[in-house]
């Protein structure tokens, strides 16, 4: 079981504050990238400033963007090690997976309304699958428990690691874990906590 602090921000100064806040207690950070086309929100899109941190921290980038393959090389050059691409805006999943495999670890992601059969690439070519438990676009949304049915279905047919993202807190992490998820991307619950480190540890110990 792994809990990964997630950052979704429009300005580098805010991203850096959050990296500095969590780096004493985590070795992995999830960065949300939204281009305004995939969802009605736009985040900070430049990978270059992250390079000062990527030697010490394992960064995964969650590409909620149009044509995610075009983002792979720039983020890899900045030191990102895992690439999570949404199938909804992907013209060729096989091509995306092949390119990402050359640069690091690869995962395909499904937005809230997207069915499992939208994944066309072989699961054996992936490090993991990401299941959104909200509709992508903004942090702080309410967890949608019905979306865990996708986790259950995947787990019934495969032992591939499953990451869930959206509305994860001390209560919802338990139900997500029971359905078969083992990696949890967490934003608001950690960063809006009075004690982010204590909350992180509490989430890690959830049953």
Predicted confidence at residue 207, as pLDDT, reads 80
- Quick check: 21 and 196 in contact, CB under 8 A? yes
Mean pLDDT of 113-119: 97
Average pLDDT, the chain: 96
Which class is domain 2-204? alpha beta
Place of tokens 């390119």: 99
Predicted confidence at residue 40, as pLDDT, reads 87
pLDDT band at 42 (very low <50, low <70, confident <90, very high): very high
- The 10s digit of each residue's pLDDT in 91-110 is 999 999 999 999 999 999 99
Taking the C-alpha atoms of residue 108 and residue 117, their distance in angstroms, rounded to an integer, is 12
Torsion angle in degrees (nearest 10) through CA of 90, 92, 93, 99 = -100
Q: By C-alpha distance, which of 176, 179, 192, 159 is closest to 3?
A: 176
Predicted confidence at residue 160, as pLDDT, reads 98
Predicted confidence at residue 39, as pLDDT, reads 87
Predicted confidence at residue 105, as pLDDT, reads 99
Predicted confidence at residue 198, as pLDDT, reads 98
pTM of the full predicted structure? 0.96
Domain boundaries, the chain: 2-204
If one counts every other C-beta atom within 10 angstroms of the C-beta of residue 167, the result is 24
Mean pLDDT of 112-132: 97
- The 10s digit of each residue's pLDDT in 128-175 is 999 999 988 777 789 999 999 999 999 999 999 999 999 999 999 999
């Amino acid at each position: 079981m792994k809990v990964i602090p997630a950052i979704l921000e429009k300005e580098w100064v805010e991203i850096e504050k959050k990296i500095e806040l969590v780096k004493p207690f985590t070795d992995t950070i999830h960065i949300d990238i939204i281009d305004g086309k995939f969802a009605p929100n736009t985040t900070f899109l430049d990978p270059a400033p992250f390079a000062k941190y990527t030697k010490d921290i394992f960064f995964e980038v969650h590409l909620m963007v149009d044509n995610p393959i075009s983002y792979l090389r720039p983020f890899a050059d900045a030191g990102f090690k895992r690439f999570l691409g949404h199938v909804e805006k992907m013209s060729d999943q096989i091509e995306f997976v092949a390119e990402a495999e050359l640069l690091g670890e690869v995962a395909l992601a499904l937005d809230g309304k997207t069915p499992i059969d939208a994944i066309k690439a072989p699961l054996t070519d992936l490090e993991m699958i990401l299941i959104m438990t909200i509709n992508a676009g903004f942090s702080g949304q309410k967890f949608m428990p019905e979306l865990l049915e996708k986790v259950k279905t995947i787990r019934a047919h495969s032992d591939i690691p499953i990451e869930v993202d959206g509305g994860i807190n001390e209560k919802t992490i338990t139900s997500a874990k029971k359905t078969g998820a083992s990696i949890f991307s967490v934003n608001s619950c950690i960063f809006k906590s009075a004690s982010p480190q204590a909350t992180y540890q509490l989430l890690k110990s959830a049953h």
